[in-house]
Chains A and B, each alone.
Chain A
Amino acid sequence: MAVYSIGRRRVIALLVLTSILLITFDTRGSAILDRGRSIFALALEPFDAASRTISRPIVNAWNGITNYDDLRRENQVLQAQLDAQQGAVIEARAAILEYQELLTLNRLLGTSDYPTVTAQVQGTRPGNFQYTVEINRGSKDGIAVGMPVVNGRGLVGKINTVFPNSAIVLLIIDPGFNIGAKVLTAADGTIEVPTSTPLRPTEQGAPTATSTTTTTTTIADALAPPVGPLDPINPATTSTTVAPSTTIDPTAPVTSTGATFDPTLSTVSTVTTQPTVTTTTVPREIIRETGTLTGQGPDQPLILRFIEDSSSYGRVKVGSPVQTAGGLRSIAPPGLPIGTVSAVTPQTGTRTLRVEVTLGAGSLDKLNFVQVLRFTPATSGS
């Protein structure tokens, strides 16, 4: 029998052409194919439920054999972290309230202004080349393609495919995930900005109080790592210091140092200010750089591209927080925490920097509950 008989060629050609046709229609968007997906998902539900029920003891046994030690170690570490975070939670709650109040006063939308849908992860990626999870909420719950997905620590992905009762989330670590992001860095140096002016100087010769109290207000840690999706700006801290006092006695005689005596200078004029001079110390400038964030797969940092080396104003620094940039074409509102800068590498031949970002959402293999922000972007993103 010939290796390539006519029948075999026809089968091959038919299958290849059909595949290409389906791929073309699907990538351009086809209501028929989307409907077919939904119907297939409904048909698959009983098989999914049956296989989950049957497989649960097998999966539990496998996890018990392979992951027990790791799990116990991780539990100990997490308990220690939890204890350390208890205090920070209380402070963060107060800060979030203040932040919300500020947004309301300035009529700005925050991330908490969008309704959310809480969902549970019911399956991780079935393949080896796409990083997705499946959640148990779908179009019936108001979820649409492109909506951002967050957990308690930040952005984890976006909705890629929606079925009636479930949805597939494309994780932020997937190489196909792109989002506009901003990194905020405090420039070097600080300036003192007076927040209250001193009173009129007193007239010469009048005895005055001489102690001076200086109150310094510092906007400290404005760029600290966020504590949740609704990350607030940490409030200003106030410290009060007493400056050393200087006394000038206006009635003391003038001591001549050998110059010609000038009777008009027989008294010394002094100017003193009233106490309580308040100043505020702020960073010289907060640099806001915007770029495109891309995933690189698991165990690899995210990459923030198109960041220019603005060395005249200050460079992006390790430890700076990275958030979603927002914008008309973004898939997420601005201000969602993503992570922190872990490395900044200049590139030869270009002013752009290679900025590596460590994901703030933690290990995406262990996602359980997530929130879908019902933020409908102008585009479904990339």
Chain B
Amino acid sequence: MRSFLTGPLPRLLPVGLFVVALQRTVLTEIRPFGVVFQIVLALAAATGAGTGPERGAVAGFTLGLMYDLSTGTPIGLTALVYGLAGFVAGYVLSLTPTPPWWLCGLFTALGAAVGETFTPIAQALIGDDSRFDQRLFVIVPVVAGFAFVLSPLFVPLGRWCMCVRRPKWKAMPEGER
């Protein structure tokens, strides 16, 4: 019980609920170029960029599941896609354990782009009619750009949700050198 309460779920669930509510209310009205910003996807990718591939995949899976439950898409579909987005974004930590903010932003955008591109692919895999059209070339950059803009806020939020602290460099004591 204690491990559950100190784990990531009690933090991720309410944050996820609020972000999903924002997705369904505010962002459906604000549509530049006819594209809906994907704030849940941005959070999933940013969490991956801040915490690594595994935790990013878990966070993306959870957030995607909440999205599926609230929007009527097949349960598990968005969870799979957002898990993939978090996983891809988490690879920034394989380059450096303390990436700068702009590198986190780039990988967050990359994760969001991968997630948004794989959404129609996943829908096609489960038998939904193909939704590939030229709009994809507008949708993916806009969604990725939005994720990049939000990454300075969402990467620390993602770390907090997953109970991960940013590693700090510490000088080695003289005797151990």
| Chain A residues with a Cβ under 8 A of chain B | 3, 7-8, 11-12, 15-16, 18-23, 25-27, 33, 36-37, 40-41, 43-44, 47-48, 50-52, 55, 58-59, 62-63, 123-130, 132, 134, 160-161, 168, 175-176, 294, 297-298
Contact = CB atoms under 8 A, between A and B. Distances in A.
Nearest to A58: B26
A40 B71 CA distance: 11
- Interface residues of B, dominant DSSP: helix
A34 to B, nearest CB: 10
Contacts of B26: 51, 55, 58-59
Interface stretch (B16-24, B102-110, B153-161, B163-171): B16-24
- Interface residues of A, dominant DSSP: helix
A127 B71 contact: yes
B168 to A, nearest CB: 19
Nearest to A50: B21
Contact of B69 (A37, A132, A175): A37
A100 to B, nearest CB: 36
A175 to B, nearest CB: 4
A89 to B, nearest CB: 32
Contacts of A294: 129
Interface in B53-76: 53-54, 57-58, 61, 65-67, 69-76
Contacts of B116: 128
Interface in B69-88: 69-77, 79-80, 83, 87
Contact of B70 (A19, A40, A62, A176): A40
A79 to B, nearest CB: 25
A26 B74 contact: yes
Contacts of A62: 29-30
Contact of A126 (B18, B23, B83): B23
Given A50-B21, A123-B24, A3 B34 contact: no
Contacts of A16: 80, 83
B6 interface: no
Contacts of B57: 11-12, 15
A193 to B, nearest CB: 46
A125 B36 contact: yes
